[in-house]
Amino acid sequence: MFRRIEARIVNELLGNEVSLPEYATDGSAAMDLRACISSPITIPPGGRELIKTGLAINMMDPGLVAIVASRSGLSLKHHVHVAQGIGVIDADYHGEIAVILANDGSADYTVQQGDRIAQLMFQPVVQMAFNIVDQFSTQTDRGEGGFGSTGKT
């Protein structure tokens, strides 16, 4: 079973127009984000649009990050996806969550009020401190091999 953490949500943005994000099943890792817009937004082929969700959260746990990811069905069927690959929502950001959607298809794609536009997942955060050294102290099988250095199979 998954660990449950509570978050606060600012209700004024959502109103009664869009339902809260929820997990579709007990095994779901992410919940769907829905468009909270006053009128339909059409994304032309090759275009990008900022779609508001009406959702602002306070994660109450500085050790978390919210990740916005594409919905696989939207990407496969309509070639519409989160423009920057993923979106990162830091624990100390309390503004409205919006999603940049990109249309890589050949036809217009129109987002309607309440449409499921992306997924929201929460992950633990590890902050790294860097130390400058003259060289690394251990060698690996990979060594300094770069892209494709481990082979195809």
Does 89 appear as a known binding residue? yes
Does 61 appear as a known binding residue? no
Count of the separate structural domains present in the chain: 1
CATH of the domain at 71: 2.70.40.10
- Assess if residue 152 is contained within a domain: no
**Strands (E) located in 3-107:** 8-9, 31-34, 41-43, 48-55, 57-58, 64-69, 80-82, 87-90, 97-103
Please state the rounded mean pLDDT for residues 108-132.
94
- Assess if residue 129 is contained within a domain: no
- Assess if residue 12 is contained within a domain: yes
> Is residue 43 within 8 Å of 80, Cβ to Cβ?
yes
pLDDT for 135:
83
Residue 78: DSSP 8-state: H
Q: In the structure encoding, which two tokens stand for residue 28, read together? A: 């779901």
Query: Residue 136 above 90 pLDDT?
Result: no
Does 38 appear as a known binding residue? no
Does 90 appear as a known binding residue? yes
- Assess if residue 30 is contained within a domain: yes
Residue 45: DSSP 8-state: T
Does 9 appear as a known binding residue? no
Identify the domain containing residue 76 by its residue range. 6-124
Reported as a single tens digit per residue, the pLDDT across 5-63 is 666 665 556 555 777 888 889 899 999 999 999 899 999 999 999 999 988 888 778 88
The span from the CA of 84 to the CA of 145, in Å, is: 27
